[in-house]
C-alpha cells in the first residue's frame, strides 16, 4: 500500500476552525503531523459577537490527543477580514505558512427584496473579501518558498442558486472566480488552489436541514478531500468539487455548440437569436472548454467564419461540412505567382537561425560570404517558397474557407534540382495539390515550384493540418502527397546534437516567418503553449544540417531532397538530437528533444546525391544489373507491337536503376515516336516520367512480388514528372516484361 498522507512540518492555517467543518479539518491535519493555526472569531452564525473559546477548545482537543505523530496547534481569534494577523500568527509561531484553508463563514439569509446593505456587505466581507485577505497575506511567502496549497469554500447555493441566499450565493461563486485565477497565477510557483462546495451538518446548516440529516452528514466525510487537495503530492489545481456524506464529484463547464446568428455585413438581430434559440441551447455534442484560451478560440473561429464566408445562420462554431463545401473547387487552384529575392545577408541569417556556427570551422562557408566555398544551406529552399503560406497566400484562396489560425504545419518535402544560388531572385508558382479529410481535421497539400528564369531550382510541398475542420466526406489519402517513411528499427548509425539558444526563434523569425507564436508569450499562451515555441522549420533546418554534416561533409551539391513530419513542438533552449540511419543514399532520420526524449520530427529522410555524381554510371555496371535483361526483353517484345502500344501510351519513360544507393544505369522506354524504342541511357529528348528504383525492387515489381503503387508509397519507387502516366507503364510491365 502507498504510504499514508502526512503533513509533518507543514504549517496549516484553517479559518473558522472553532466548529463545524473547520474543526474537523484542523483535527485531521494535526492528526497527520501538521502544525495548525486554529482560527475562529467566535461569534454566532450570523456574524454577531466574538470570543476565544471556540478556537481554544479545538486547540485543547488537539493537545489532548497529542502524541508523537500528532502535530501542534495554536489559536488565533482574529476575523478573516484582517488576514495579515492570521498569517502573522503562523509565521511568528511556526516560521512559515504552507496551507491555507479558507473556511470561515456566516449566513444572513433573506429573500432578495429584504436584503439590507449590511446583510449584503457583511456576507461579502467575511466570505469573499476574507478569503482574499487571508490568501493575499500568505501568497508572497508561498511564492518565495515555491510551494503552497490553498483551499476555497464555495457552496451549492452559489453554483445552482438557492432561495433566500442571493447575498451568500453571490459571494460564494465570487470565491470560485478568485480560485480560478489563483490556480493560473500560482501554477509556476507550485501553488495550487482548489474549491469545494461541501454538504455537512453544522450549526450553520441546522437552521435549514432536518435534524437527522445534520447528524448524518458528518464534517468528517468532507475533511479527507480537503486533506488530499492540500497535500504536496496532489497535482490537482483549479478544480471544483461537490462533497458530502462520503461522496465526492468534480464539476466542469459545458457549452453548447451554439449557432452563429449573424451574416457578414448585415446587422445582427434579436429575431435571428429567437429563431436559433433551440440550437443555441441544445447541449448535444456539447464542448467542455477548460481554459479561457479554449473558450476564446471558439469565439475567434466564429469571427473568421463570418468574415471569410459570410456564413448563414446554420453554421455552428464546430460544424465543418458547409464550411468545406468549396474544397473541390480549391484543388488545383493556383496562387498568384510571387518572387523571392535574397542576398547573402538572408542566407547567412538563415544559417545562423538553424544553428550554423563559427564554433564549427566547417560551418564557416554558411556564415561568411568571404569563404572561398560560400554556400547557401539547401533548406533555405523552404524560405524562398514560404510566402505561399502567409498573407496573400493560402489564407486567401477562395473556396478554402478554413480557419488557418488553427493550422499546424504537418509535413514538409523539399527537393533541389541544383544548389541554391548564393543570392538571386526566384519566381514561385504555388498550387493546391490536394485536400484531404482526416476526420479530426483537414490536410491541405500545397506544391510550390521555384524557378530562376525558366530553370526549375527547387520544389516544395507543404502539408498543413487544420484542426477541427474534417468530417466533410473527402478522401483520406492522396497520391500527390510525398510519403513520409518510417525510420529503421535498428539503433541509429549516427547521432548529432545541438543546443538551441533561448533566442533561437527570435533569430530564426528574421528569415521571414513573423508569426508571434514564436516570440510573444501572451500570444503563445492564447494558443495553448506555456511559452513561445520554436518554428518547426527551424528544427527542420537543424536536422538537415546535421545530416549534411555527418554524411555529405557539408557539400550542398550532394543534397537532393528532404521529407519530414512535424510531431511535437520544441521550446527555444532545448537540445535537438538528430538520430540518423544510412541506407544507400537515403539517410533516414528522426529528431528528438534530448531533455524530454520526445520525438519532434518523425519519419524523415534526406536523399543525397552519391559522392561520385549521378551520371557516373558505367555501361559495364549497367550490364551486370538484372534489370538489363528485362529492358532487353521489353525491347524484343515491343518490336512487333510497338506502333500499337505507342498509340495507347504516347509517353517517354526514363528509368534510373540504382544499386547500393547509387544510380547504376539509366534506361529509356520511348513509347511516343514511331514504333517505340528501348535503349540504355537518358532520354534523347525529354522524358514525360522519370522513375527511380533499385535493381532489386525493379525485379520484385516485374515478378509481381511488389505492387508498384505500394512501392511508391513506401518510397522504394520514386517518380518525377507526369506520375499519372506510370499507370500506363504498369500495363507494359505486365504485358511485356515477363521473362
Per the residue annotation, which of 168, 221, 459, 605 is the catalytic one?
A: 168
198 versus 536: smaller Cβ distance to ligand NAI: 198
DSSP conformational letter for 238: S
Element (H, E) at 562: strand 559-566
134 versus 348: smaller Cβ distance to ligand NAI: 134
**In angstroms, what is the minimal distance from the CB of 232 to ligand NAI?**
24
β-pair type (424-437, 455-467) = unpaired
224 versus 661: smaller Cβ distance to ligand NAI: 224
| CA–CA gap between residue 643 and residue 645 (Å, rounded) | 6
Residues whose CB is less than 8 angstroms from the CB of residue 568 and which lie 6 or more positions away in sequence, other chains included: 593, 598, 599, 600
160 versus 283: smaller Cβ distance to ligand NAI: 160
Residues whose CB is less than 8 angstroms from the CB of residue 200 and which lie 6 or more positions away in sequence, other chains included: 20, 21, 217, 218, 219, 221, 222, 244
> Is 168 assigned a catalytic role?
yes
| CA–CA gap between residue 462 and residue 433 (Å, rounded) | 10
| CA–CA gap between residue 199 and residue 535 (Å, rounded) | 50
Q: Which residues bind ligand NAI (CB under 6 A)?
A: 15-16, 18-22, 39-43, 45, 47, 54, 79-81, 103-106, 126, 130, 153, 155, 198-200, 202-205
729, burial (CB in 10 Å: exposed 0-12, middle 13-18, buried 19+): buried
**In angstroms, what is the minimal distance from the CB of 224 to ligand NAI?**
16
**Cα→Cα distances 648→169, 644, 645, 676, 690, Å:** 82, 7, 5, 11, 19
| CA–CA gap between residue 121 and residue 408 (Å, rounded) | 50
Q: How many CB atoms lie within 10 A of CB 118?
A: 10
128 versus 733: smaller Cβ distance to ligand NAI: 128
Helices (H), 318-430: 327-330, 344-353, 364-367, 380-385
Q: At what angle do helices 130-145 and 166-186 cross, to 10 degrees?
A: 10
188 versus 250: smaller Cβ distance to ligand NAI: 250
Contact 155, 145 (CB under 8 A): no
**In angstroms, what is the minimal distance from the CB of 151 to ligand NAI?**
11
**In angstroms, what is the minimal distance from the CB of 529 to ligand NAI?**
37
Least Cα distance to 725 among 738, 708, 713 occurs for 708
**In angstroms, what is the minimal distance from the CB of 505 to ligand NAI?**
47
**In angstroms, what is the minimal distance from the CB of 60 to ligand NAI?**
15
**In angstroms, what is the minimal distance from the CB of 112 to ligand NAI?**
19
25 versus 327: smaller Cβ distance to ligand NAI: 25
171 versus 628: smaller Cβ distance to ligand NAI: 171
Long-range contacts of 672-679 (CB under 8 A, 24+ apart): 672/646, 673/646, 674/642, 674/643, 674/646, 675/638, 675/639, 675/642, 675/643, 675/646, 676/638, 676/642, 676/643, 676/645, 676/646, 677/635, 677/642, 678/631, 678/632, 678/634, 678/635, 678/638, 679/635
Task: Return the CA Rg of the chain.
Answer: 35
**In angstroms, what is the minimal distance from the CB of 50 to ligand NAI?**
8
104 versus 534: smaller Cβ distance to ligand NAI: 104
**In angstroms, what is the minimal distance from the CB of 91 to ligand NAI?**
18
**In angstroms, what is the minimal distance from the CB of 75 to ligand NAI?**
12
Contact 526, 295 (CB under 8 A): no
151 versus 407: smaller Cβ distance to ligand NAI: 151
Three-state secondary structure call for residue 121: helix
Break the chain down into helix, strand, coil percent, rounded to 5. 40, 25, 40
List phi, psi (to 5°) of 405: -65, -20
Contact 656, 694 (CB under 8 A): no
Known catalytic residues are 168
Amino acid at each position: 500500500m502507498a504510504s499514508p498522507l502526512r503533513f509533518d512540518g507543514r504549517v496549516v492555517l484553517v479559518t473558522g476552525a472553532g466548529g463545524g467543518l473547520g474543526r474537523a479539518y484542523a483535527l485531521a491535519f494535526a492528526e497527520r503531523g501538521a502544525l495548525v493555526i486554529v482560527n475562529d472569531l467566535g461569534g454566532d452564525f450570523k456574524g454577531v459577537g466574538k470570543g476565544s473559546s471556540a478556537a481554544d477548545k479545538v486547540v485543547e482537543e488537539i493537545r489532548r490527543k497529542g502524541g508523537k505523530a500528532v502535530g501542534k496547534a495554536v489559536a488565533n481569534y482574529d476575523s478573516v477580514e484582517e488576514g495579515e494577523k492570521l498569517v502573522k500568527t503562523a509565521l511568528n509561531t511556526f516560521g512559515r505558512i504552507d496551507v491555507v484553508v479558507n473556511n470561515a463563514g456566516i449566513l444572513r439569509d433573506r429573500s432578495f427584496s429584504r436584503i439590507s446593505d449590511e446583510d449584503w456587505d457583511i456576507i461579502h466581507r467575511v466570505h469573499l473579501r476574507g478569503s482574499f485577505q487571508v490568501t493575499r497575506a500568505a501568497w508572497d511567502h508561498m511564492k518565495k518558498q515555491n510551494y503552497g496549497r490553498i483551499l476555497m469554500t464555495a457552496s451549492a447555493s452559489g453554483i445552482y442558486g438557492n432561495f433566500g441566499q442571493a447575498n451568500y450565493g453571490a459571494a460564494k461563486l465570487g470565491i470560485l472566480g478568485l480560485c480560478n485565477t489563483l490556480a493560473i497565477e500560482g501554477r509556476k510557483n507550485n501553488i495550487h488552489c482548489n474549491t469545494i462546495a461541501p454538504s455537512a451538518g453544522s450549526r450553520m446548516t441546522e437552521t435549514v436541514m432536518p435534524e437527522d440529516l445534520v447528524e448524518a452528514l458528518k464534517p468528517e466525510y468532507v475533511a479527507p478531500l480537503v486533506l488530499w487537495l492540500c497535500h504536496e503530492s496532489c497535482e490537482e489545481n483549479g478544480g471544483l468539487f461537490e462533497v458530502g456524506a462520503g461522496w465526492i464529484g468534480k464539476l466542469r463547464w459545458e457549452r453548447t455548440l451554439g449557432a452563429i446568428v449573424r451574416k457578414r455585413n448585415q446587422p445582427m438581430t434579436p429575431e435571428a437569436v429567437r429563431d436559433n434559440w433551440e440550437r443555441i441551447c441544445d447541449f448535444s455534442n456539447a464542448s467542455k472548454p477548460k481554459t479561457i484560451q479554449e473558450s476564446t478560440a471558439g469565439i475567434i473561429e466564429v469571427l473568421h467564419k463570418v468574415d471569410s464566408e459570410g456564413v448563414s445562420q446554420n453554421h455552428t462554431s464546430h460544424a465543418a461540412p458547409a464550411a468545406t463545401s468549396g474544397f473541390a473547387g480549391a484543388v488545383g487552384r493556383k496562387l498568384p505567382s510571387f518572387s523571392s529575392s535574397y542576398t547573402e545577408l538572408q542566407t547567412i541569417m538563415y544559417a545562423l537561425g538553424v544553428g550554423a556556427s563559427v564554433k564549427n570551422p566547417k560551418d564557416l562557408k554558411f556564415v561568411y560570404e568571404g569563404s572561398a566555398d560560400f554556400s547557401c544551406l539547401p533548406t533555405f529552399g523552404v524560405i524562398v517558397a514560404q510566402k505561399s503560406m502567409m498573407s496573400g497566400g493560402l489564407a486567401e484562396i477562395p473556396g478554402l474557407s478554413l480557419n488557418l489560425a488553427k493550422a499546424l504545419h504537418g509535413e514538409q518535402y523539399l527537393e533541389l534540382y541544383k544548389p541554391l544560388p548564393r543570392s538571386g531572385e526566384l519566381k514561385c508558382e504555388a498550387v493546391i495539390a490536394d485536400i484531404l479529410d482526416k476526420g479530426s481535421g483537414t490536410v491541405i497539400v500545397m506544391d510550390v515550384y521555384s524557378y530562376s528564369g525558366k530553370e526549375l531550382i527547387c520544389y516544395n510541398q507543404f502539408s498543413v493540418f487544420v484542426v477541427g475542420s474534417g468530417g466533410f466526406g473527402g478522401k483520406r489519402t492522396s497520391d500527390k502527397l510525398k510519403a513520409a517513411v518510417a525510420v529503421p528499427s535498428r539503433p541509429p548509425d549516427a547521432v548529432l546534437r545541438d543546443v538551441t539558444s533561448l533566442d533561437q526563434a527570435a533569430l530564426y523569425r528574421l528569415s521571414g516567418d513573423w508569426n508571434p507564436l514564436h516570440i510573444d508569450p501572451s500570444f503563445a499562451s492564447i494558443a495553448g503553449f506555456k511559452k513561445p515555441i520554436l518554428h518547426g522549420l527551424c528544427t527542420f533546418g537543424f536536422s538537415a544540417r546535421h545530416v549534411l554534416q555527418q554524411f555529405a561533409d557539408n557539400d550542398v551539391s550532394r543534397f537532393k531532397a528532404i521529407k519530414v513530419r512535424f510531431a511535437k513542438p520544441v521550446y527555444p533552449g532545448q537540445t535537438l538530437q538528430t538520430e540518423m540511419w544510412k541506407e544507400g543514399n537515403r539517410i533516414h532520420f528522426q529528431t528528438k528533444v534530448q531533455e524530454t526524449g520526445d520525438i519532434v520530427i518523425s519519419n524523415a529522410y534526406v536523399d543525397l546525391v552519391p559522392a561520385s555524381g549521378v551520371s557516373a554510371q558505367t555501361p559495364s555496371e549497367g550490364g551486370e544489373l538484372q534489370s538489363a535483361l528485362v529492358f532487353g526483353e521489353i525491347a524484343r517484345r515491343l518490336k512487333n507491337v510497338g506502333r500499337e502500344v505507342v498509340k495507347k501510351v504516347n509517353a517517354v519513360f526514363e528509368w534510373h536503376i540504382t544499386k547500393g544507393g547509387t544510380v547504376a544505369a539509366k534506361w529509356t522506354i520511348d513509347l511516343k515516336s514511331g514504333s517505340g524504342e528501348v535503349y540504355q541511357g537518358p532520354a534523347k529528348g525529354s522524358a514525360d516520367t522519370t522513375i527511380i528504383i533499385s535493381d532489386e525492387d525493379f525485379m520484385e515489381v516485374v515478378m509481381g512480388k511488389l505492387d508498384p503503387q505500394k512501392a511508391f508509397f513506401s518510397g522504394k519507387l520514386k517518380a518525377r514528372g507526369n506520375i499519372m502516366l506510370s499507370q500506363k507503364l504498369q500495363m507494359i510491365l505486365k504485358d511485356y516484361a515477363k521473362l
